Amino acid sequence: MNRLKGKRILVTGGAGYIGSHVVKALGEAGCQILVYDNLSTGNRWAVLHGELVVGDLSDRTALTRAVVGFAPEAVIHFAAHIEVGESVRDPLKYYRNNTANALGLLEVLRGAGVGSLIFSSTAAVYGIPESIPVKEDAPLSPINPYGASKAMTERILADLACGDGAFRYVALRYFNVAGADPSSRIGQDYKNPTHLITRALKTAAGVYPRLEVFGTDYPTPDGTCIRDYIHVDDLASAHLAALGHLLGGGDSSVFNCGYGHGSSVREVIAVVRRVTGVDIPVVEGARREGDPPALVADSSRISAALGWTPRHDDLEYIVRTAWDWERALASRAVDSRP
């Protein structure tokens, strides 16, 4: 039995990369969906199900109108800035959007009587973990404003849930999300992508002349950073599991979303070369400020509590779906030329 069929779900940032894949999964589950997105990094065409309202989280009037008019049973909150390097250069931008606007959303939801929220968090809240794989009860010690802005919002959620029995939440801490819809309908489409796999694939496609590797002297086996790459569709299924948990009366909780093992930058480059057949040129540079040497998830909690079982734990599959998407995106750009 599909417990989510017919449920009314508001998705902030649902026109973006991860949000659009979750909207796709919600639509396939039969949910009624309202997407609220300012389209600063999202795209209209990425919303495959439901209705799109174009609006900014900082616009309290528009946000309240959307929430009250739609009367959602739960909210999935994606809308945020996500670039680590940019957060170091412009921290106020991140605290304003990722924390202050999240607080504003919670105030609107409380006023409208909406008591269930899934929060898009990040492994960046851990900073440089003392042990790998990292568990949810590890200290939160973010080393960049992006991670700090998300950790602050998590604290607000925890305090709100503790003080208000009518509010419950699930925070999902993403590790490195990659890949695309296997049918190539949606995928990453940022103006200035910073994700390694996307940059590497765009280099293979000739969009960039070379791929820069940020740091080769980390305390890892090959000197490059190690990350836990999770396919975006597996992450979407984690959101649906969390939604079912909350709507079924489950308690507030925090869950890691990853596969429990990592790949180095050099290993990712090798897979990209194999999948694309292109020997992409690589330039080795200095470390990037705010990057921890390794981030790998212990996701045993979400598996045990929600029964989440990933289906795409395969770096080559992740890269292949992302490569198919890059080629589809390039074809779309050609077809749209006057």
pTM beyond 0.85:
yes
Strand (E) or helix (H) holding 86: helix 84-89
Sketch the domain layout of the chain as residue ranges. Answer: 8-177+229-257, 196-225+261-331
**DSSP letter assigned to residue 252:** P
Asked if omega into 209 is within 30° of 0 (cis), the reply is no
Q: Which of 17, 94, 95, 146 is catalytic?
A: 146
Per-residue pLDDT of the chain (338 residues; tens, 9 = 90+): 588 999 999 999 999 999 999 999 999 999 999 999 999 999 999 999 999 999 999 999 999 999 999 999 999 999 999 998 899 899 999 999 999 999 999 999 999 999 999 999 999 999 989 899 999 999 999 999 999 999 999 999 999 999 878 999 999 999 999 999 999 999 999 878 889 999 999 999 999 999 999 999 999 999 999 999 999 999 999 999 999 999 999 999 999 999 999 999 999 999 999 999 999 999 999 998 768 899 999 999 999 999 999 999 999 999 999 999 999 998 876 555 44
* CB-count exposure of residue 267 (10 Å: 0-12, 13-18, 19+): middle
284: its two tokens: 């080795």
Tell me the C-alpha to C-alpha distance, in Å, between residue 140 and each of 132, 155, 255, 275.
14, 10, 14, 36
Strand (E) or helix (H) holding 168: strand 168-174
| Cα–Cα distance, 280 to 262 (Å, whole number) | 22
The backbone region for 71, taken as left when phi is positive above 0, alpha when psi lies in -120 to 50, beta otherwise, is left
259: its two tokens: 């596969």
Query: Taking a C-beta distance cutoff of 8 angstroms, is the pair 255, 238 a contact?
Result: yes
Considering the segment(s) 8-177+229-257 as one domain, its CATH architecture is: 3-Layer(aba) Sandwich (3.40)
Query: Taking a C-beta distance cutoff of 8 angstroms, is the pair 11, 22 a contact?
Result: yes
Active site residue 146: yes
Pick the CATH number of 196-225+261-331 from 3.90.25.10, 3.30.1490.20, 3.40.50.300, 3.40.120.10: 3.90.25.10
Longest Cα–Cα distance in the chain: 57
